Amino acid sequence: MATRAPGRLCYVCPVAFGGEAGAAGPAGRDDQPSFDTSVAHQARIYDYWLGGKDNYAADRKAAEAAIAAYPGVATGARANRQFLARVVRYLAREAGIRQFLDVGTGIPTASNTHEVAQSAAPDSRVVYVDYDPIVLIHARALLASHDDGLIDYLDADLRDPAAILDQAAQTLDFSRPVAIMLIAILHAIGAEDDPYQIVTRLVDAVPAGSYLAISHVASDIDAEKIAEATARLNQLSHQHFTLRDHAGVTRFFDGLELLEPGLVRVEDWRPVSQLERRNRSAVWGGVARK
Ligand SMILES: C[S@@+](CC[C@H](N)C(=O)[O-])C[C@H]1O[C@@H](n2cnc3c(N)ncnc32)[C@H](O)[C@@H]1O
């Protein structure tokens, strides 16, 4: 097992190892997370919902406040994680994809993208991208590639897709199909940052035969409860979340061929067992082919 990453991770060093809290992050914006445990972060809240241990009191407080408003939020997180694994398995096994650009990595947990992809196709290449220093530290410690494949980690912001594409090109061959994975991240991008344009920019960079996979918290499933849970998170966490309805999420796939069963609750996207379907979510998920 080998990994080719440490050089890239030095992007986070100034912040992760004693840099100024709140200092501008990878895209030079001052609203990117720093290594601050006093404020809840999306990655660590999600880790708590998944039963992980890489979270702090502020994260647990925000996570519990959301659960109190909408108890389904934790099962939704698990359903989302299972969706991610099923999508990667499908792409590697059935669609023949060998390159993955996974933006919004999250703190590594079970069945990470490269593990699922490389168990089906060991030569798979995965580029992980996240803008939270804590994610990149854990990624370095926990993620290791199969010798036949390659993984890389970028400290970059989805709101700067040009920088992501530029750095990812050191590992991925953009003349061959790539799966763009935007799993549980786009709801952290508000309208002011034009998330549709960001997705278009990424999709434009990959050839025909590539895929786009998205999951996104829904505004139109259990609407009142999810709105209250989101309002609480927006008060307590670094990131602000923007929910979108079925039409709003479908729009991200404009111009692409949406695979069956279309945009559905993540647990209804090709579940392999009734057990998987039991984790109900308020999260839309879908996969499309370019
Ligand atoms: C809820 S986690 C999802 C993790 C994983 N994709 C999954 O679905 O299991 C969302 C991740 O997106 C990251 N994130 C949010 N906004 C981002 C941005 N603008 N650029 C890069 N990463 C971002 C957060 O730091 C967090 O790690």
Query: For 177-220, how does the pLDDT look when each residue is reduced to its tens digit (9 = 90+)?
Result: 999 999 999 999 999 999 999 999 999 999 999 999 999 999 99
Least confident range from 35-39, 189-193, 237-241: namely: 35-39
* pLDDT tens profile 114-172: 999 999 999 999 999 999 998 988 887 777 888 999 999 999 999 999 999 999 999 99
Cβ of 47 closer than 6 Å to ligand 1, yes or no, is no
Q: What's the pTM value of the predicted model, to 2 decimals?
A: 0.91
Taking the CA of residue 215 as reference, the ligand 1 atom at the shortest distance is 8
CA distance 59 to 220: 26
Residue given tokens 């803008």 in the structure block: 131
Q: How many CB atoms lie within 10 A of CB 268?
A: 16
Look up residue 186 and give its two tokens: 């786009």
Cβ of 135 closer than 6 Å to ligand 1, yes or no, is yes
Residue to mutate (ligand 1; options 167, 185, 243; most atoms within 8 A of CB): 185
Cβ of 104 closer than 6 Å to ligand 1, yes or no, is yes
Query: β-strand 150-155 against 283-289: which pairing, if any?
Result: unpaired
pLDDT at residue number 239: 86
User: Cα of 144 to ligand 1 centre, how many Å?
Assistant: 20
pLDDT at residue number 25: 53
Does the pLDDT at position 5 exceed 60?
A: no
- Of all residues in the chain, the percent with pLDDT exceeding 70 is 90
Residue given tokens 């389904």 in the structure block: 72
Q: Whose CA is nearest to atom 27 of ligand 1?
A: 106
